[in-house]
Amino acid sequence: MPSASDRQTILDAVLGSGAIAVVRMADAGRLRHVAEAIAEGGVSAIEITMTTPNALAVIEEVAREMGDRVQVGVGSVLDAETARRAVEAGARYVVSPVFKPEVIDEAHRQGVPAMPGCFTPTEILAATEAGADVVKVFPADIVGLPFFKAVLAPMPHLRLMPTGGVSLTNAGEWLRAGAVAVGVGSALLDKQAIAEGDWATLTANARTLRASVEAGRTG
């Protein structure tokens, strides 16, 4: 289990990647191959959602086998108990589609960052004041890029991460709009490639995403 002093180090590593791969898979057996392929392409932060079959066992396996090559997190967390169990399995950060203070508190008790999902400016600020390390704006495709600029204008201290509506090539635009990182799911994790075991395509997708992130940081 990470100590409280590790929390900022973990957060820096996750944000340093600029992108979190959001993994929702019916076939958990292929998930490790997916993690290896996208890590090879430069996306080292991987969020394994609790909607994945046997999610905790998968988190444990990926964390054990890949070690520091990836920052493994848990997603779709709805309660404190799930957060605790996921961190014990090896998750290094906790992501939720909603804002529940108990989840933030438990993640911090376990020494890892918390990234709750929010939608309105009021909710985003409330989550930040409750200790959220990053606020996941979800679903971001509903509000779009202008929302980020508008919210950050009066509250530039907020750390926002869009999930939903982020593509391999527009990630940089979200960063230029003020996001600290992006969450990417289906755009990165090509279902046909996964079904065919075409890991090279996933690696190429990850490289395209990384290029967009880097362009956004320097542009």
In a domain, 131, yes or no: yes
Which of 50, 47, 59, 92 has the alpha carbon at shortest distance from 189?
A: 47
pLDDT tens for 164-199 read 999 999 999 999 999 999 999 999 999 999 999 999
Which active-site residues does the annotation give? 47, 136
In a domain, 219, yes or no: no
Q: What is the pLDDT of residue 3?
A: 61
Domain ranges, residue 95: 4-214
In a domain, 208, yes or no: yes
Q: What is the pLDDT of residue 192?
A: 94
In a domain, 106, yes or no: yes
Q: What is the pLDDT of residue 4?
A: 60
Domains: count for the chain: 1
Three state DSSP letters for 85-144 = HHHHHCCCCEECCCCCHHHHHHHHHCCCCEECEECCHHHHHHHHHCCCCCEEECCHHHHH
The CATH number linked to 93 is 3.20.20.70
Whole-prediction pTM: 0.96
pLDDT tens for 53-73 read 999 999 999 999 999 899 999
In a domain, 206, yes or no: yes
